[in-house]
Amino acid sequence: MAAIFGLAGLTLTGAERSFFQRVRPLGYILFARNVADPVQVAALVTDLRGLVPDFAPLILIDQEGGRVQRLRPPAWRSAPAMAPFGKLYAKDRAEAASTLRLNMQLIGQELASLGIDVDCAPVMDVPVAGAHDIIGDRAFSNDPKVVAALAPVACEGLIAAGVVPVIKHIPGHGRARADSHKELPVVDADLPALRASDFVPFAAFPKWGLPAFAMTAHVVYSAIDRARPATNSPVVIREIIRGELGFDGLLMSDDLCMRALAGPYKERAAAALEAGCDAVLHCDGNLADMEAVAVGCGPLGSNGQRALAAVAAIRGRPKGEISKITGATAVAEALARG
């Protein structure tokens, strides 16, 4: 099924187990409520993977660093947000790139050791003056060229550890003046302004030649589609994301639970898939709502199958282990110099 679901707690309930076995979702996403310690997380991941013997689902998490990291001390490293790497880039581009790659590889190693194979990072949004701070220091910079330069390095670090990155929030959340978790942002910038800033990092993506997924923005771009946020807009997805920006990988919605979207969950899921998303994301672990999402979802399409193949290929790549202690020290020292 073309859905990725959250779950309620540290272990699967009987009802969740039965539901997931029946609907066979593309994957699962973990949050802080699902995390206690490394042994528990690894056991939960193993349990999720064993639900359907002939299918290896994706296991996702948001581990960006800074404000957004589900795995936290003392069991895991406190990784920095992305903005400090942008500041270091202004002083020393080579050091910024090498330090960022090391940081993301350390994150990737922690995830891979638990069996988590997809990280919803990096943020490729470009904040502008007056925008809501929901993006803030999660972004590399307010210079789109800096974001375009550093984002592929972050992806490379994750991939080197055997983890697939998810670039977000395509085609750009940095200009939004509202938090899409709470309400629907409307961006009134014209297309030339969007092309000069918001779209720049995403337009560079096809040139990287890197395997990655992408997550949509729950944002209305009035210059493109006044009626619908990107997640639900066939125009934004077909003409901008797939067309102008050239993204041809797995496209997933941002969380259907966010208040930027409205209507029954069956309709939310169907609208995103009909608009051109390959999979929908439902995060809060509410089983009744997940049942409704499942009704609105169809089977996994060709992009979903390609996604699973991409994950398998990345898992199979040779991985160079980095010392957690010396690596973390190197990252901290480089950012301190910045």
Which residues are known catalytic residues?
Answer: 181, 254
Q: Rounded to the nearest 5°, which phi and psi values hold at 30?
A: -100, 145
CA nearest to 157, candidates 98, 199, 227: 98
Helix, strand counts (H, E) of the chain: 12, 12
Q: Which two tokens stand for residue 43?
A: 């056991």
Long-range contacts of the stretch 238-242 (C-beta < 8 A, 24+): 238/276, 240/171, 240/199, 241/170, 241/171, 241/202, 241/214, 241/216, 241/276, 242/276
CA nearest to 99, candidates 82, 111, 113: 82
Alpha-helical runs (H) found in 161-277: 191-196, 200-208, 234-235, 265-275
